[in-house]
Structure 1
Amino acid sequence: MIRMLRVGDRVVFDEVEHLVAAVTGSWVRLVAPDGVPSAVLLAHLVDSPGFAIVGHDDTTDARPGGLVAQGLEDLSQEAADRAREWERHVIEVETGLPPGSPPDATPRPEYDPAVHDLGERDAAKARELTATGKRTSVRTIQRMRQRYRAEGLRGLVDSRSSRTASIDGRADVRVVEAIREALAEETSRSTGTRDRLRRRVEEIVAGRHGDGVVSMPSRATFYRLVGRLSQGQHTFGPATTRRSLANRPEGAFTATWAARPGEQVQIDTTTLDVMAAFDDGHARRVELTAAIDVATRTICAAVLRPTGTKAVDASLLLARMLVPEPMRPGWVESLRMSASRLPHRQLADIDERMEQAAAKPVVVPETIVCDRGRVYLSETFLRACESLGISVQPAHPRTPTDKGIIERTFGSLNTLFCQHVAGYTGRDVAHRGQAVEAEAVWSMEQLQDLLDEWIIVGWQQRPHEGLRSPDTNRVLSPNEMYAVLVSAAGYLPVMLTGEDYIELLPSTWRTINDYGIRIDRRTYDTAALNPYRRQHSGVTAQNGAWEARYDPYDLSQIWVRNHHHGGWIRAEWTHLPMVSAPFADFTWRHARQLAAENAQDGEATEAATARVLGDLLRRAGQGPGSTTPDHLSDADRRVATRNQAVNSNRRPLAEPIAAQPVPADDDEDFDAHEITDGDDGATVIPFGVFDARAEARRWP
């Protein structure tokens, strides 16, 4: 067992038992049985033949800590010097020699332990200090010796210099309690002034103790007291910061950490500090939904949308995360994955799409951390995560620190990307330019392309202070960190296919009737549904209904799960030839409202709604600079612009999944793709389902 050498220990030195009187630096003061003191180097003492600690003198109050140094860094230089000076005097009284004396030094006559006992030496020291102008009594010397033995050097510090000031000083405790209560109330209120707080404190004090019973401190004293009591609470600062601090859990924070790609992915939505120019001629801010991998800081996906991000947007973001980022026309060759530090060859052996991919890795999430908004706790998003085997971990309510990495990434996007883009608004009204709307020249589609390219160049290949090499501690980029962790964790990304994409779409359950399937007053049909009309699906829990998947941003088609033979059956909207472009659910609702206003009985037919929808999309496609006399109202223009925006930044789409073989039928020659609108003869081709493998084969 290891023991600490302490004052009061009895040790064997030179075959004689000594008492340890003091330990100062590397010197040990020993007192022999006959009272003769000596100073010995610590190293010489413990290495001497026969050295042993044989006991402890219980009558001596040994100071705690043994050989552990007792620092005085928290004191002023004057207070520390006085304590060290007292130590010299006390040690000289105890041993006869002051600390730092050479081994052959002899005590001064009045402090020689062989001639004078301890009481006489106390009196000699008191006379010496008094003669120097420091009036000192024998009792003071004795008290300092006792404190030195009990507490060491810290015991010699003047208590007045080490006293900690009370946070509330000499203020009335009733006033202090009222101030604390008023400060707690400010957490959820809008930020006010100290005068408002003072009035609230006066109300609390009067209501609790009566008018005039408790006197309030002066205004200056009150302000000083409030300043001390509200330290670190941001009572008079930003309200958002104050609420965030109030929601912090007690105890120390644990840094968010992950050991492999995809172990934890954080996802969130924010409004970017940049405006996009829409086709209606107005500039508006856009929303960004993004996901970031904690282990590598890779921005897995980032999608821009008009304000009002929906649950399906988050689900489709998952789909975009799980396929490689394709090279775009005009991108330089240095942006290819083959030219980066990513393990391109190993990934290309896993998936052929990596051959033509951009330098951004595919990260398959294991756990997604999100807030408790309706978008991320919706059935659509949770079901999409469940189908991909992803665990969803909601953050604590109103606690953005639970997903601090994505929150900080949004700040980096605003400073590293948005402020360099035309139409930058600044973080608030005080930082906004004079004519930001006039500066916005990029459409949302162009802004999405700029963001995608910046992520490859300005983020994935930029050193990140949060990423450090495990061997050299060098700052790494997200791509470099991905390469390091892939080699260490053996990470294998399994990427999305076409049918996986359909599984991410919202679902509804419908009966297959003679006319097809009705969803929100739209009729979908195809000859492939003939064997299943008026048939039970086999799903008893849904009363025999059939599962149908739909894309809210492209309602021109749906996919019906074949519960009998497996796979999916694609069915198109029966009135699709009457419109000129794919349309979203909000576009359909607006067209139905317009058609109902024009209907005599207030109930528009499907065909009438289709005509209104086709006319709306046709006029919107002519652009704001068209000379046609047709024009859109503000409401029509907003809906049409949003419809075009959400469909403009979709990935290239592949051929739809093959449906079940079509049996012989009178309508088997019917092909919706060949039917044209009688007004303009435009061929209507709906979006197909995204099939990443088919897309990879189409890349140049």
Structure 2
Amino acid sequence: MLMSAGQVPVLRVGEWVRFDGDEHQVVALAGTSVRLRSRGGTAQVVLLGFLLAATDFELLDGRQTVPVMEPIGLLETLPGEVLERARRWERHIVEVVTGRSPDSPKTAPPRAGYDPASSTVKGRDAAKAAELTASGQPTSARTVTRMRLRYGEQGLWGLVDQRVTRGSDLVGRADERLVTAVLAELNAQTHASTGTRGRLMRRVSAALDAEYGPGVVPVPGRSAFYELIGVLASGRHSFGAATTRRTLANRPPAPFTPSLATRPGELVQIDSTLLDVMVLLDSGVPGRPELTMVVDVATRTIAAAVLRPAGTKGVDAALLLARTLVPEPMRPGWSAALRMSASRLPHARLLDIDARLQAAAAKPVIVPETIVIDHGRVFVSEVFTRACARLGVSIQPARKGTPTDKPIVERQFSSIGTLFCQHVAGYTGYNVIRRGDRITDEPLWGLTELQDLLDEWIVAGWQHRPHDGLRDPQAPGRAFSPNDAYAAMVAASGYLPMTLSGQDYLELLPLHWRHINEYGITIDYRTYDGVALPHGKRSTVAEQGGRWEVRYDPYDLSHVYVRTPARWITAAWTHLPMVGAPFADFTWRHARRMAAARGLPGDNETEVARVLDQLLTRAGNGPVDKTTARVAARTRAARRPTLPDAQIIDRPVAAPAVDPAPAVPFGLFDVDAEAERWR
């Protein structure tokens, strides 16, 4: 665009401006400060940047106009003949405005009929229209006026033939109603099964006939219609993989704010998924375990990861949250290099807080502040929400059907699949297309062994592996490991993790309120008793009508824990000697159903205990049916691991023998063998 330097606006003393809803005169300039005085006499000093950024700022001197900046990038994309035609128009318009052609010398006088001193703008527009028409380019004065005004507003870009800039000529020529119908059908394909273009064409034709009448909106031939679909369906995967189409539809609208955290525990994410590995359950039935994992956003630390048979419960998620608050203990066989004292973690500083870190593995303790969950019933359960409230953790629900609200833990599952699962015997692949056909013929790991392997890989591999999402803004070329990031953030934020105590652990267990009778406590047709129980007494909790607070572990119903004003008391199941092994709540329910199927009373504790003992005995010798095998497997595999100082066990301990003399042992009494002998 041809402009003179005098057109650039300049703010000077004495100029009038519009600002803050009033007109002001510039009375002084000092550096970047501007002193203004309104027409009412009010004076104020503002920064120049603040003044220019005001939405209502305007320079009231009409002689100064802001120069129009041309879209140079768009001009370079135009065809040569289109750009040349716009430049020819520019020369004509400049002559109309200034009286001189851009090619003429500056000292040359204006051409006759174009002198601004002796002719009007309207007259010059008419003269230029007549000149172009005489040269073989029919043009009206109105066209010249329109081009002159567009040039003043947009510069050279305003003289470009806008038909060239409308995008695809195919879409530009297509009926707008047809384009709308095609887009509506493409949007409807998001959650539908993938079809062909022919099906889409048929549905579009039917929709147009139903809305506008048969044949009112013409539908092009198959080739032209397919070309139209190719333009409109670009990037949608409408005729590709349905999973890809749904994934693209789930992306948050751009721009969006990513999950950011500046200190450990500020934001953590939790989720569950089936692991891509087949394991051999205790009953001998192979199956895929469910992995529930807590990930710290700031450091990418896997704070806790637990494998369970399919069917994770709310108490699993609550106890998993508790595991993030206790140190990871060293296991037998682990290398000494995996100790926290041998890592970059601030071991000496943290050891002053908790002595248990002396034998801890090189994985930091994370104290969550906010946890992001989805709407799975495990995470919205009362047990989990109560655990978060007890620990002072805020819950932030993700939007339904939006996994991008917790992208860190979702991506971590993929990393575990590629970095850990594919190297484990029994790997299934992440979909059936990649799955082998003889996986169960391989020697499979047990669930307990796989849990140990996963824990060791997290400490030895993941926590020391540089992560591309952990970079120092001052040195972006270096990627930090989760342990490196934790050490740096502890120093920067003054982070001191306060680990969980044993009493806090009991507070996370599910709760029952029960009376303590002379025979003990009854829960779901099970009776618990202990010498230390306050038999026949009422509790001091008036709101509960004298009932006592009883906590229980759903994966070990052999004992319950009763809160008294002085301490927690452990009460054992009265029929535990008959069964002799821990069992879960779902195992007890299954035993009651088996007893009812045999015609035995389901509320008879002794009969159910016998069925339960037979169930666990048969599970040790091999499965009888699939349902029994799954229940027995879940019972054995889902036993809660012992956490350091995280349990209060008040069970009676046998007194040491007074006479150290050796005793002649009796033979072991086998209940099952004795029963068979009497039969």
Q: Which bin holds the TM-score, normalised by the shorter protein?
A: 0.7 to 0.9
Partner amino acid, structure 1, of 2:579? V
Match of 1:510 among 511, 514, 537: 514
CA contact (8 A) 2:505 2:647 kept: no
CA contact (8 A) 1:6 1:66 kept: no
- Asked if 1:119 corresponds to 2:107, the answer is no
- Residues 142-181 of structure 1 correspond to what in structure 2 (within 5 A)? 147-165=150-168, 168-181=171-184
Task: Name the structure 2 match of 1:378.
Answer: 381
Q: Distance in 2 between matches of 1:67 and 1:176?
A: 34
Q: Distance in 2 between matches of 1:66 and 1:205?
A: 45
- In the superposition, the TM-score normalised over structure 2's length comes to 0.78
Q: Distance in 2 between matches of 1:214 and 1:88?
A: 42
Q: Distance in 1 between matches of 2:375 and 2:645?
A: 34
- Asked if 1:332 corresponds to 2:335, the answer is yes
CA distance 1:655–1:250, shift in 2 (3 Å): closer
Residue 416 of structure 1 and its aligned partner are, at CA, apart by 1.5
Q: Distance in 1 between matches of 2:647 and 2:102?
A: 95
Task: Name the structure 2 match of 1:643.
Answer: 635
CA distance 1:238–1:119, shift in 2 (3 Å): same
Task: Name the structure 1 match of 2:619.
Answer: 620
Deviations 1:139-161 (A, max 9, x none): 89998776544422323434343
Deviations 1:206-254 (A, max 9, x none): 3323334443332233333334444444433444554555556655211
Unaligned runs of 5+ in 1: 12-52, 100-106, 625-630, 663-675, 683-700
CA distance 1:201–1:544, shift in 2 (3 Å): farther
Q: Distance in 2 between matches of 1:516 and 1:54?
A: 91
Task: Name the structure 2 match of 1:35.
Answer: none
Q: Distance in 1 between matches of 2:274 and 2:467?
A: 24
- Residues 272-421 of structure 1 correspond to what in structure 2 (within 5 A)? 272-421=275-424
CA contact (8 A) 1:324 1:354 kept: yes
Task: Name the structure 1 match of 2:582.
Answer: 582
Task: Name the structure 2 match of 1:542.
Answer: 544
CA distance 1:229–1:371, shift in 2 (3 Å): same
Residue 568 of structure 1 and its aligned partner are, at CA, apart by 1.4
CA contact (8 A) 1:82 1:157 kept: no
CA distance 1:656–1:457, shift in 2 (3 Å): closer
Task: Name the structure 2 match of 1:198.
Answer: 201
Q: Distance in 2 between matches of 1:55 and 1:595?
A: 97
Match of 1:522 among 519, 526, 529: 526
Q: Distance in 2 between matches of 1:66 and 1:214?
A: 43
Match of 1:555 among 551, 557, 581: 557
CA distance 1:503–1:167, shift in 2 (3 Å): farther
Q: Distance in 2 between matches of 1:181 and 1:127?
A: 50
- In the superposition, the TM-score normalised over structure 1's length comes to 0.76
Deviates more, 1:175-184 or 1:546-555: 175-184
Q: Distance in 1 between matches of 2:633 and 2:360?
A: 31
- Asked if 1:477 corresponds to 2:476, the answer is no
Match of 1:679 among 670, 676, 679: 670
Q: Distance in 2 between matches of 1:572 and 1:96?
A: 107
CA contact (8 A) 1:83 1:154 kept: no
CA contact (8 A) 2:91 2:101 kept: no
- Residues 234-245 of structure 1 correspond to what in structure 2 (within 5 A)? 234-243=237-246, 245=248
Q: Distance in 2 between matches of 1:367 and 1:507?
A: 24
CA contact (8 A) 1:595 1:604 kept: no
Deviations 1:127-148 (A, max 9, x none): 9999xx9979898999877654
Unaligned runs of 5+ in 2: 11-58, 117-123, 654-666, 674-679
Partner amino acid, structure 2, of 1:607? T
Q: Distance in 1 between matches of 2:75 and 2:351?
A: 60
Partner amino acid, structure 1, of 2:527? T
CA contact (8 A) 1:287 1:309 kept: yes
The size of the alignment, in residue pairs, is 599
CA contact (8 A) 1:425 1:431 kept: yes
Match of 1:262 among 265, 269, 273: 265
Deviates more, 1:143-152 or 1:347-356: 143-152
CA distance 1:446–1:5, shift in 2 (3 Å): farther
CA contact (8 A) 1:9 1:56 kept: no
- Residues 181-192 of structure 1 correspond to what in structure 2 (within 5 A)? 181-192=184-195
- Identity percentage over the alignment? 52
CA distance 1:604–1:147, shift in 2 (3 Å): closer
CA distance 1:537–1:245, shift in 2 (3 Å): farther
CA contact (8 A) 1:9 1:57 kept: no
Residue 125 of structure 1 and its aligned partner are, at CA, apart by 12
Two-structure CA RMSD over aligned residues (Å)? 3.9
Partner amino acid, structure 2, of 1:545? R
Match of 2:648 among 657, 662, 667: 657
Q: Distance in 2 between matches of 1:655 and 1:485?
A: 27
Q: Distance in 1 between matches of 2:69 and 2:220?
A: 49
- Asked if 1:597 corresponds to 2:597, the answer is yes
Residue 388 of structure 1 and its aligned partner are, at CA, apart by 0.6
Residue 324 of structure 1 and its aligned partner are, at CA, apart by 0.7
